[in-house]
Amino acid sequence: MNEVMNVTNLTKRFGATEVLSGIDLTIYEGEVFGFIGHNGAGKSTFINTITGIINKSSGSFKMLGASDQDLDQVKAKIGVMPDISNLYDQMRGIQFLSYMGKLAGDHRSKQEYAALMKDVGLEGAEKKKIKSYSFGMKKKISIAQALLGNPSFIILDEPTSGLDPESAINIRKLIADLQQQGKTILLTSHNLDEIDKVSDRVGIISNGKITRLGTPAELKVNKVNEISVAIRTAPALTSDKLTELSAAWDFNVTFVASKKPYTVVHVSSEDDLPRLSQQLMQSGFQLYEISMEQQSLEEVFINSK
Ligand SMILES: Nc1ncnc2c1ncn2[C@@H]1O[C@H](COP(=O)(O)OP(=O)(O)OP(=O)(O)O)[C@@H](O)[C@H]1O
């Protein structure tokens, strides 16, 4: 697999505050990489550093084969979504894109710029001044700007935050289309369900370091000897009742939570499931459902701190 980005021990300090504390990360050609972290974790600082908007403090990185010293050689192949406060808001949407397109060496026809606006969900807003755009519309035009010049590596910082659900779905489709075209995408989002859906791999940044890295499926695997099971019974199984009953069982079951109408418990092996069902029925419970639960990416994120 070809490396599109390779970051080694990257640090960034603002005065005495260290925001990135030794990031190591490789992104491969054709993948969608999702970057998550709490507010202020350093996601934007990371993006700004690897795109040369701000200077690193130490460490090194390579982008599309060029070292960080030679970033200018590959900048045209990297599409970065600008902050919406950096849009020229006196310009009309299509005028802005064709102006920025020319700067990026992108010589499309007017119809092609209109098609790009349609792709990001701005059909009908081509001739409106950007200053009249809503927050979501500004977000969409900045995504369009990131696509100018046909970049092979596209970096999108919170592309769907503030978008209505339908627009967010369209942007996710656009990301999937771009990946189909062979592009590599780095995106950040606080919508963990979205990151789960669109990303091939996910990195969690916390305290300036990447604390978890893997495919969504890898991250969601429960700890060894800890299988979450959701049970729906009548009457509902309470923590006290489970403690009382399980004292006599020859396998371990621990109460985790009540998530109405389910009771979530941990068992240590899949083989405990039939035993658990049998014991509950023998104790007078009517068993309606019993199923293994996978952690959500949200739970992985909360537990990664
Ligand atoms: N130019 C700057 N000068 C000083 N501190 C900065 C500067 N830019 C960012 N920071 C600080 O760096 C930290 C990381 O900020 P950053 O914007 O990278 O976080 P983030 O993960 O993108 O957060 P969010 O999810 O809220 O967008 C914050 O504490 C922020 O205050």
Which residues, 6 or more positions from 224, have their beta carbon under 8 angstroms from its beta carbon?
none
Label residues 238-277 b or e (16+ Cβ within 10 Å = b).
eeebbeebbeeeeeebebbeeeeebbebbbeeeebbeebb
Query: From the CB of 48, is ligand 1 less than 6 Å away?
Result: no
pLDDT, one tens digit per residue, over 17-76 is 999 999 999 999 999 999 999 999 999 999 999 999 999 999 999 999 999 999 999 999
**Measured between alpha carbons, how far is 255 from 239 in angstroms, rounded to an integer?**
6
Query: Does residue 49 or residue 299 have the better pLDDT?
Result: 49
Which residues, 6 or more positions from 175, have their beta carbon under 8 angstroms from its beta carbon?
32, 156, 159, 185, 187, 198
Half-sphere exposure in the Cβ direction for 14 (13 Å, CA): 8
How far does the centroid of ligand 1 lie from the alpha carbon of residue 304, in Å?
20
Beta-bridge partners for 86:
none
Q: What is the mean pLDDT of residues 281-291?
A: 96
Residue length, the chain? 305
Query: Which amino acid belongs to residue 9?
Result: N
Count CB neighbours of 80 within 10 A: 22
Query: From the CB of 23, is ligand 1 less than 6 Å away?
Result: no
How far does the centroid of ligand 1 lie from the alpha carbon of residue 39, in Å?
8
How distant, in Å, are the alpha carbons of 99, 146, 170 from that of 113? 11, 13, 18
Query: From the CB of 19, is ligand 1 less than 6 Å away?
Result: yes
- Determine which helix (DSSP H) or strand (DSSP E) holds 235, and give its type and residue range: none
How far does the centroid of ligand 1 lie from the alpha carbon of residue 40, in Å?
5
The pLDDT value recorded for residue 296 is 80
Helix ranges restricted to H, the chain: 43-50, 93-103, 110-119, 135-146, 165-180, 192-198, 216-220, 239-246, 272-282, 297-303
**Measured between alpha carbons, how far is 75 from 124 in angstroms, rounded to an integer?**
31
How far does the centroid of ligand 1 lie from the alpha carbon of residue 36, in Å?
14
Confidence of residue 171 (pLDDT cuts 50, 70, 90): very high
pLDDT, one tens digit per residue, over 128-167 is 999 999 999 999 999 999 999 999 999 999 999 989 999 9
**ipTM summary value:** 0.97
pLDDT, one tens digit per residue, over 4-17 is 999 999 999 999 99
pTM of the model: 0.83
Confidence of residue 223 (pLDDT cuts 50, 70, 90): low
**Measured between alpha carbons, how far is 270 from 287 in angstroms, rounded to an integer?**
18
**Measured between alpha carbons, how far is 281 from 202 in angstroms, rounded to an integer?**
41
**Ligand 1 atom at shortest distance from the alpha carbon of 47:** 18
